[in-house]
């Protein structure tokens, strides 16, 4: 996500930092590069034009502070204008009033509404809510079964009916059921529809009039760029949206839709979906998003992901094992699984401030897969006692994991070096805070 935009802007900033003073000539040159970068990222032309105009005027009209360089000041202005473009502060869901709070999910066909419905239910449950999903897409084959499957996977209830033709009536009965069950949130997964299909648009308006949703979220495929923005604008004229969700952002290296959507529609971006797993949904924070675009990372989101993924009891057990020099390959494997829950390593690296500027730093996801395969091919006894891994066992593990014996040897050597370091630190009476830092490093 945003890789192309980040890289191109970093080149512009590098040039700006090299100037001892800001002149109209070098600002004009830099703004041409920024405008080209925004357009290549599929940012709406009018949005890009107005953004450049504001940055240019403020850069030339602002007195440079003695404590920073002129280039740094321009970057600060760009950051502030990005925040203005994206919106100030998080736009959280309105779940107040008498329960259940109804959320209507709408969008084009294939935008990822059903998957988002499951992700949103999972997200709200983590916040202490008790959601009920409604399979209101009766037109797409297997749409109802897809939502039911997601519900079973996450142990979240799904309301559905067989052979139904009146969708607004279905939603009304689901609302009655939610009130009876004391459900907190009712999430309606409606059918995909084109904004030019008047019959289908009339149906979703009837659903809105029937159940009076507190939130009407438009789900857009982030990879479609300006098409997503234009569709959101059309749906807003029919439904008066309360917010927008961008899906499939893990596959979009441009990010233009995220920068354009609020300026064009006037509606806040509330969530972005960054992967295929049910945990890959992020509430949208403009300041954090701007930080990622400018290569400053997003350490707050990284910490939140870690808090959601870490099992506190398991962490305490690991700390005790580290103190007693009992850290095994089995423990190492459990830490890898915990790390995997946090999402792709490449996306985690983007959250670390400055990581994008480190030359030669490439996240090798395939190495992670190989390490997992090797550990999965070991018996529990072998993971607990690596010293029993003779040449025959290592050949068996390599064969079973589809790797080479050299890969197995490399993993075991790295693990042994880690154990020696832990033992050395413990002999020096490692402090509790140092242990926790070491534990985070292992994770």
345-367 pLDDT per residue, tens: 555 555 544 444 444 445 556 67
| Residue 347 counted as domain residue | yes
Q: What local confidence, expressed as pLDDT, does residue 252 receive?
A: 53
Domain count, the chain: 3
Domain match, 330 and 279 both: no
326 to 379, 385, 425, 430, 441: CA distances (angstroms): 18, 10, 13, 15, 17
| Residue 175 counted as domain residue | yes
- 269 pLDDT above the threshold of 50: yes
Q: Work out the mean pLDDT of the chain and round it to a whole number.
A: 79
Q: Please report, for the domain that includes residue 51, its CATH number.
A: 1.20.120.140
265 to 86, 228, 241, 274: CA distances (angstroms): 12, 11, 9, 22
189 to 122, 278, 402: CA distances (angstroms): 14, 16, 42
Full domain range(s) for residue 320: 304-442
Q: Percent of the chain having pLDDT more than 70?
A: 74
Domain match, 71 and 201 both: no
Q: Of 242, 263, 291, at which residue does a domain stop?
A: 291
Domain match, 54 and 112 both: no
In the chain, the N- to C-terminal Cα span, in Å, equals 24
| Residue 93 counted as domain residue | no
Q: What local confidence, expressed as pLDDT, does residue 325 receive?
A: 66
Average pLDDT over residues 179-190: 93
Q: Of 249, 267, 291, at which residue does a domain stop?
A: 291
Q: Please report, for the domain that includes residue 420, its CATH number.
A: 1.10.260.30
Average pLDDT over residues 144-154: 94
Q: Of 32, 60, 86, at which residue does a domain stop?
A: 86
Cα–Cα dist 203/168, whole Å: 7
List pLDDT tens digits, range 397-428.
999 999 999 989 988 888 888 777 767 666 65
Q: Which of 104, 416, 370, 355 is nearest to 245 (CA)?
A: 104
Cα–Cα dist 12/198, whole Å: 46
Among 16-25, 38-47, 301-310, which is the least confidently predicted range? 301-310
List pLDDT tens digits, range 78-123.
888 888 888 776 678 989 888 899 999 999 888 889 999 999 999 9
Domain match, 237 and 331 both: no
Cα–Cα dist 131/215, whole Å: 14
Domain match, 286 and 317 both: no
Domain match, 245 and 273 both: yes
User: Is residue 238 within 8 Å of residue 209, measured between CB atoms?
Assistant: no
Cα–Cα dist 275/1, whole Å: 10
| Residue 46 counted as domain residue | yes
Q: Which of 260, 288, 267 is nearest to 49 (CA)?
A: 260
3-state secondary structure the chain: CCHHHHHHHHHHHHHHHCCCCCCHHHHHHHHHHHHHHHHHCCCCHHHHHHHHHHHHHHHHHCCCCCCCCHHHHHHHHHHHHHHHHHCCCCCCCCCCCCCCEEEEEEECCCCCHHHHHHHHHHHHHHCCCCEEEEEECCCCCCHHHHHHHHHHHHCCCEECCCCCCCHHHHHHHHHHHHHHCCCCEEEEEECCCCCCCHHHHHHHHHHHHHHCCCEEEEEEEHHHCHHHHHHHHHHHHHHCCCEEEEECHHHCCCCHHHHHHHHHHCCCEEEEECCCCCCCEEECCHHHHHHHHCCCCCHHHHHHHHHHHCCHHHHHHHHHHHHCCCCCHHHHHHHHHHHHHCCCHHHHHHCCCCHHHCCCCCCCHHHHHHHHHHHHCCCHHHHHCHHHCCHHHHHHHHHHHCCCHHHHHHHHHHHHHHHHHHHHHHHCCCCHHHHHHHHHHHC
Cα–Cα dist 17/8, whole Å: 15
Q: What local confidence, expressed as pLDDT, does residue 426 receive?
A: 60
Domain match, 78 and 137 both: no
- 292 pLDDT above the threshold of 90: no
Q: Please report, for the domain that includes residue 176, its CATH number.
A: 3.40.50.300
| Residue 383 counted as domain residue | yes
Say if strands 185-190 and 158-159 run parallel, antiparallel, or are unpaired: unpaired
Domain match, 16 and 158 both: no
| Residue 229 counted as domain residue | yes
Higher pLDDT, 386 or 338: 386
Domain match, 266 and 390 both: no
Among 173-177, 330-334, 410-414, which is the least confidently predicted range? 330-334
Cα–Cα dist 257/242, whole Å: 17
| Residue 298 counted as domain residue | no
Q: Percent of the chain having pLDDT more than 90?
A: 27
Does the pTM of the predicted model rise above 0.85? no
| Residue 96 counted as domain residue | no
- 71 pLDDT above the threshold of 80: no
List pLDDT tens digits, range 230-251.
888 889 888 989 999 988 876 6
Domain match, 277 and 379 both: no
List pLDDT tens digits, range 368-401.
788 889 999 999 899 888 889 999 999 999 999 9
Domain match, 24 and 47 both: yes
Take residue 217 and report the two structure tokens written for it.
């979220």
Domain match, 106 and 239 both: yes
């Amino acid at each position: 996500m945003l890789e192309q935009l980040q890289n191109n802007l970093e080149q512009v900033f590098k040039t700006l930092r090299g100037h001892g003073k800001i002149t109209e000539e070098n600002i004009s040159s830099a703004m041409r590069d920024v405008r080209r970068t925004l357009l290549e990222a599929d940012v709406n032309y009018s949005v890009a034009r107005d953004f450049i105009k504001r940055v240019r005027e403020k850069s030339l009209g602002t007195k440079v502070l003695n404590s920073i360089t002129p280039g740094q000041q321009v970057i600060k202005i760009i950051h502030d204008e990005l925040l203005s473009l994206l919106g100030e502060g998080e736009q959280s869901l309105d779940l107040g009033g008498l329960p259940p709070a109804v959320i209507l999910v709408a969008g084009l066909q294939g935008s990822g509404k059903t998957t988002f419905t499951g992700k949103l239910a999972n997200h709200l449950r983590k916040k202490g809510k008790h959601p009920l999903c409604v399979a209101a897409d009766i037109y797409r084959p297997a749409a109802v079964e897809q939502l039911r499957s997601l519900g079973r996977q996450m142990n979240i209830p799904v309301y559905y009916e067989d052979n139904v033709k009146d969708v607004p009536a279905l939603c009304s009965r689901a609302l009655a059921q939610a009130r009876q069950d004391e459900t907190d949130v009712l999430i309606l997964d409606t059918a995909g529809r084109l904004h030019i299909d008047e019959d289908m648009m009339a149906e979703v308006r009837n659903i809105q009039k029937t159940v009076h949703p507190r939130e009407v979220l438009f789900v857009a495929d982030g990879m479609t760029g300006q098409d997503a923005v234009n569709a959101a604008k059309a749906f807003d004229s029919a439904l008066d949206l309360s917010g927008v969700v961008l899906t499939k952002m893990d596959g979009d290296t441009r990010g233009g839709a995220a920068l354009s959507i609020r300026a064009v529609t006037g509606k806040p971006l509330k969530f972005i979906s960054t992967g295929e797993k049910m945990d890959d949904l992020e509430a949208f924070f403009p300041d954090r998003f701007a930080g990622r675009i400018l290569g400053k990372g997003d350490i707050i989101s990284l910490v939140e992901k870690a808090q959601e993924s870490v099992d506190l009891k398991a962490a305490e057990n690991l700390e005790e094992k580290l103190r007693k020099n009992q850290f095994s390959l089995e423990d190492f494997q459990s830490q890898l699984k915990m790390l995997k829950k946090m999402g792709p390593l490449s996306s985690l690296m983007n959250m670390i401030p400055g990581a994008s500027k480190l030359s030669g730093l490439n996240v090798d996801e395939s190495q992670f897969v190989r390490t997992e395969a090797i550990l999965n091919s070991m018996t529990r006894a072998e993971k607990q006692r690596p010293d029993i891994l003779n040449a025959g066992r290592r050949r068996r593990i390599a064969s079973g994991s589809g790797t080479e014996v050299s890969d197995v040897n490399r993993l075991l050597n790295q693990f042994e070096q880690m154990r020696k370091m832990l033992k050395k630190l413990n002999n020096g009476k490692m402090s509790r805070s140092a242990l926790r830092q070491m534990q985070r490093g292992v994770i």
